[in-house]
Amino acid sequence: MKNPLEPDCAALDQRDRERFAPLQELFAPGARGIIYFDAGSIGPMPADAPRRVQETLQSQWRIGRRRSWNDTDWLEQPRRLGARLAPVIGASADDVVVGDSTSVNLYKLIRNALSIAAPRRVIVAERDAFPTDLYVVEGIAEAGLAELRVIANAGELNQALAPGDVAVVALSHVDYRSSERHDMRAVCALARTHGALTVWDLSHSAGAVRIELRECGADFAVSCGYKYLCGGPGAPSLFYVHPKWHDAAWPAICGWMGHADTFAFRRQFTPATGPARHLVGSPPVVANVVFGAAAEIWSRVDIEAIDARHRSLSDTLIALLERRCHGFGIELQGPREHERRGGHVAIRFERASALVQALCDRGVVASSREPDTVRFSLHPITTRHVELEDAVERLRDLLDKAAWRDARYQHHVV
């Protein structure tokens, strides 16, 4: 029996058909019968990725070997991928490059920001940030290169900036647990007022919701490539440098791929212009080819439409959860307004890990984070509204039966 107050998921999918069905077809379907809500851990595979890899291995590696460095785009990939993905994060083509991991890029860009902001040496970071982001800044401080000032939340930013000694504010745009999204424009303006630079981690917003790096005046940003952006397992990360900082300081790690003229083999390091100076060693060609299949899809996407569809999906999920799973001890963890949320909808449940394992056994792949967060990461292209309805039904059924109490769900999994 349909409650007239509930979202009509079939109708919402029908509304999206004309615009999104052609894009959905560019992704390979996942396992039959599985509802996948974990694009925030690893995004779905572009259908064209296997063919591209096969072609690269067979003709560019097996046949071409060394000549492929000259005959193909291997060396151009980091810049080309960056240029294609730039609109997804509200950046210009020349300001984004792809390479290394998110952790490594955070290190390089925070160090670069410290060089620019010297003699200031304070980094402001959030207490509950993703662990690797904190390890990176702790390591920089431990090496004597900066001083760390940890805040509990954005509300403490003003106070942290007040002494006028902050070099870098390093924040995750979206919290990996609660999905709470910072007001990027406001934070950038505040940091600027106090003479501090901003370094953003976009891992839980890039490819899910609209980001306007350039308009907000963000100084630096990095994003994971293998989550919503669908770059493949362990995909390289992308990073952004505001044009005013392109040539402001030497990169933190100087390598031949960041040299202005790599194959001149000069004794002296001359940094390349633009964000490419932060490239270090040889590009991961096969991984970049996989990412290229996703970048091709992103280049056909209207980011406003992506944002609107993500809003529709996540609002629908929240409405369904609240109407159908009421009274089972779950509550919405993150904000209710789309503008304050990232790629996932987070709920609190005391036994989050057991619940997620039980859900997985019923064909719904979500993820949990300690201590009590359940994350439903919705992909703005591939997720369908009817899947939300189906998943919430399965969730309600297992809550009703308290199936998560089963002994086999009580150990910890990744």
**Is 409 among the residues known to form the active site?**
no
Q: Which residue among 16, 201, 387, 389 contacts ligand PLP (CB under 6 A)?
A: 201
CA distance 232 to 213: 24
Q: Which residue among 68, 72, 92, 101 contacts ligand PLP (CB under 6 A)?
A: 101
**Is 13 among the residues known to form the active site?**
no
Closest separation in Å from C-beta 344 to ligand PLP: 11
For 211, the token pair is: 């980001």
User: Using the rule CB under 6 A, is 298 a contact of ligand PLP?
Assistant: no
CA distance 391 to 176: 22
Q: Which residue among 24, 68, 92, 132 contacts ligand PLP (CB under 6 A)?
A: 132
Question: The dihedral of CA 365, 370, 373, 377: what is its sign?
Answer: negative
The answer to whether residues 323 and 389 touch, using CB atoms and an 8 Å cutoff, is no
Strand (E) or helix (H) holding 192:
helix 184-193
Strand ordering across the sheet containing 344-348: 331-332, 344-348, 373-377, 367-369
For 80, the token pair is: 């080309």
Considering the complex, state which of residue 122 and residue 125 has its C-beta at the smaller distance from ligand PLP: 125
**Is 227 among the residues known to form the active site?**
yes
Stretch that binds ligand PLP, among 44-52, 126-134, 316-324, 357-365 (CB under 6 A): 126-134
Closest separation in Å from C-beta 172 to ligand PLP: 5
Beta-ladder partners of 149: 124
Considering the complex, state which of residue 50 and residue 131 has its C-beta at the smaller distance from ligand PLP: 131
User: Using the rule CB under 6 A, is 181 a contact of ligand PLP?
Assistant: no
Catalytic residue selected from 108, 120, 227, 351: 227
User: Using the rule CB under 6 A, is 108 a contact of ligand PLP?
Assistant: no
Closest separation in Å from C-beta 37 to ligand PLP: 16
The interface mask with ligand PLP, positions 216-255, x = CB under 6 A, is --------x------------x------------------
For 186, the token pair is: 């406001």
Place of tokens 């993905």: 85
Stretch that binds ligand PLP, among 25-33, 52-60, 197-205, 284-292 (CB under 6 A): 197-205
| Residue 392 CA, distance from chain mean position | 25
| Strand, helix or coil for residue 5 | coil
Q: What is the DSSP string of 281-292?
A: S---HHHHHHHH
User: Using the rule CB under 6 A, is 198 a contact of ligand PLP?
Assistant: no
Closest separation in Å from C-beta 232 to ligand PLP: 12
CA distance 384 to 9: 8
CA distance 122 to 98: 27
**Is 375 among the residues known to form the active site?**
yes
User: Using the rule CB under 6 A, is 368 a contact of ligand PLP?
Assistant: no
Closest separation in Å from C-beta 269 to ligand PLP: 25
Please provide the distance, in angstroms rounded to a whole number, between the alpha carbons at the two ends of the chain: 37
C-alpha distances (whole Å) from 299 to each of 18, 23, 41, 288 are 18, 11, 22, 16
User: Which of these, 186, 178, 210, lies nearest to 311 by C-alpha position?
Assistant: 210
Closest separation in Å from C-beta 107 to ligand PLP: 10
CA distance 238 to 44: 18
Catalytic residue selected from 201, 219, 220, 228: 201
Stretch that binds ligand PLP, among 24-32, 143-151, 198-206, 299-307 (CB under 6 A): 198-206
Considering the complex, state which of residue 77 and residue 105 has its C-beta at the smaller distance from ligand PLP: 105
CA distance 126 to 202: 15
Binding to ligand PLP in span 261-290, by CB under 6 A: none
Q: Give catalytic residues, as residue numbers.
A: 130, 201, 226-227, 375
Footprint of ligand PLP on this chain (CB under 6 A)?
A: 101-103, 130, 132-133, 172, 176, 201, 203-204, 224, 237
